[in-house]
Amino acid sequence: MALAIMGSGGDAPGMNAAVKKFVDYLYKRGEEPYLVYDGLEGLIDGRIKKAEHRDVAGILHRGGCVIRSSRSKRFYDAAYRRQAYENLQKHGIDGLVVLGGDGSFRAMDIFSKEFPLNFVGIPTTIDNDIYGTEYCLGVDTALNTIRDALDRIYDTASTFNRAFVVEVMGRECGYLAVISALGSGAEICVIPEVDFNRPATETRLKDEIAHGRGYILAVVAEGTHKTQEIATWLEESMGMETRITVLGHIQRGGAPSSYDRLMAFEFTVRAVDHLLKSEHSNKVVVYNEGGFGMMGIDDIVNNKYRINPRHLAMLNILD
């Protein structure tokens, strides 16, 4: 059987580990692995190549994705989707593994309903915003990157008695901000999912400053669009010199953590095993409560991910 793997949407650490495991595991199973380069755009243009071991040698520790990725407006056109399907057929490809996030799976949902496409998605996004799975590939590395940055910012904040507002990624999901704030001991966390209680926070911080607090760290999710607002408020209300740090795309890059490498292997093996035994699959591999499973694409795209309420309660941002 011939199977292909592709990346779609934003990159995340661990994608190369998944690509390598895909190729190595298929050869071990006696099957044919193919690589789709440049994501959905490459699928449309036929940038598909049978993989050899040398294509994936030495990529395990690298960030980014050697087969690259893309977002494609053309894929919204039915004619281009047919062209993409015909390109798979030309190579005799029986199944497709897709490393992607919410947008990628929505595209695959449409694709699989139009054509007899056998595919399995691997949740791959640092945003960790895919319904049905507690964990997405790349999240651990991104959190480690943010943690390291926040630790360093704390050093200078405490030295100069300043407030720092750090913006983290996550689109409309505040997962990275919540977990990073918990792990760094931030005084403030602002996310899209919960209204920020500014009066209560102001009262608390002024009391702490009066009793010796000399610095403040605020973690703000990019989806709130409140980074500048929080910085201005801290400067004016707390009378504390304030700096803004936008971490940006450094959160996407870097060598994947040991955990992300292991999860890449786990996700990929399960995706391949499922494709090899399925005549028609439109599933996504999910991870919950320490175990792996499969969830239908309809459930994934028709429901909204929600942050674990326990994490929100730990921040006391529900009060």
Active site residues: 127
195 burial type by CB count under 10 A (0-12 exposed, 13-18 middle, 19+ buried): exposed
3-state secondary structure of 87: helix
Longest dimension (CA), the chain: 71
Rounded-to-integer distance, Cα 187 and Cα 140, Å: 22
If DSSP codes are grouped into helix, strand and coil, which group holds residue 111?
Answer: helix
Q: What is the DSSP string of 286-305?
A: EEETTEEEEEEHHHHHTS--
Q: What are phi and psi of 71, to 5 degrees?
A: -110, 140
Q: Where are the alpha helices (DSSP H) in 123-257?
A: 139-160, 175-184, 198-210, 227-238
**In a 3-state reduction of DSSP, which class is residue 125?**
coil
